A = this chain, B = another copy of it.
């Protein structure tokens, strides 16, 4: 999340403020938390309109009614700001705990599909970051932890739940399988720009995951 001086607590996530992460607390005006959200809001707006490359920090700041310094006090680079755009929101990501146990993998997958998520937006914003990743291991790590990681974790959770039920075929490569949906979605959004529609999502479950995991697409 943002690299806030604001506390030192909130923590866990990762980034830091370059200007004295911990300590230095005494005088001065505290950070205005509304600026964070305004800026993220503006960033999402501009990203949606223009895409990463054509988005300028200056415009984000202007739309947020903020100065560039206010932006850079919170995020070290445009890329990091955009990342937070993906996840701050932020309970947008579905976790295994959000998915009711329907009694079958097929049911669980259907349940997930029916849950609204902002994933598409996340992927979209990721588009422009792709080219930054090779230069920045940290960025790569963050993207994987926050954007693609949670999806794989969810998938793995569902597969393990199925395994506990005895649904899984022996010898299924869970690790690999849990990456398939993310990869297919990324492929469409980044490369072919085909839509991620209901039918596509259905066939990911029915034609790929279920047969691989349980050996049958129908019964």
Contact = CB atoms under 8 A, between A and B. Distances in A.
Interface of A: 51-54, 126-128, 130-135, 140, 143-144, 148, 171-173, 176-177, 179-180, 182-184, 186-187, 190-193, 203-204, 207-208, 211-212, 215, 217-218
A207 to B, nearest CB: 4
A194 to B, nearest CB: 10
A128 B131 contact: yes
Interface majority SS on A: helix, strand, loop or mixed?
A: helix
A131 B134 contact: no
A84 B207 CA distance: 35
For A144, A173, A177, A183, which residue has the most chain B Cβ atoms within 10 angstroms? A183
Contact of A132 (B53, B208, B212): B53
Nearest 10 pairs of A and B residues by beta carbon: A183-B187, A173-B207, A128-B131, A130-B130, A183-B183, A53-B131, A183-B184, A51-B134, A52-B131, A130-B190
